[in-house]
Amino acid sequence: MKVDVLKGECPDFAAMRRLAMRFRGILRSKNAGKLGVWLKDARQSGLYSMQGFARTLHRDIDAVRNAITERWSNGQTEGQINRLKALKRVMYGQAGPELLRARMLPLWALPQQSLRQNHSNGYSQFFEIR
């Protein structure tokens, strides 16, 4: 309902939304053949953000086409990197690499000697000592 009001009141919003929905359709249909026409339309749209997005996609068009057509994804890898960066931000300045290792690895993956060393360093609150 709010989208319909915006489309009626703001022609630039309507044009941007049409382009965005077409791009989503290209991604979902896995049809890279429509990408060239979409890029041309986005560059000629007069919308600064869409023109910039189209320029960015065009810089590495082969990778974009592969991302659309291939079934492989690096989503799992990117998710793990994002998780690691979030943990590092949370722990910045609070502890050393041993605490980071403890937060990243499951307890069973740590050697028992490492657990004893961390206990003696005062990190026992983060470990279950067996």
Residue 119: C-alpha distances to residues 22, 32, 84, 88, 128 (Å): 57, 56, 24, 22, 9
Pick the more confident residue, 80 or 42.
42
Residue 26 CB contacts under 8 Å (≥ 6 apart), including other chains: 32, 34, 35, 38, 68
Q: What is the pLDDT of residue 100?
A: 66
Q: What is the pLDDT of residues 18-53, one digit of tens each?
A: 999 999 999 899 889 899 999 999 999 999 999 999
Residue 91 CB contacts under 8 Å (≥ 6 apart), including other chains: 99, 100, 103
Q: Contact, 13 vs 49, CB < 8 A?
A: no
pTM: 0.56
User: What is the chain's percent helix, strand, coil content, to nearest 5?
Assistant: 75, 0, 25
* Number of neighbours of residue 54 by Cβ within 10 angstroms: 20
pLDDT at 89 over 90: no
Question: Mean pLDDT, the chain, as a whole number?
Answer: 78
Q: Contact, 40 vs 29, CB < 8 A?
A: no
pLDDT at 70 over 60: yes
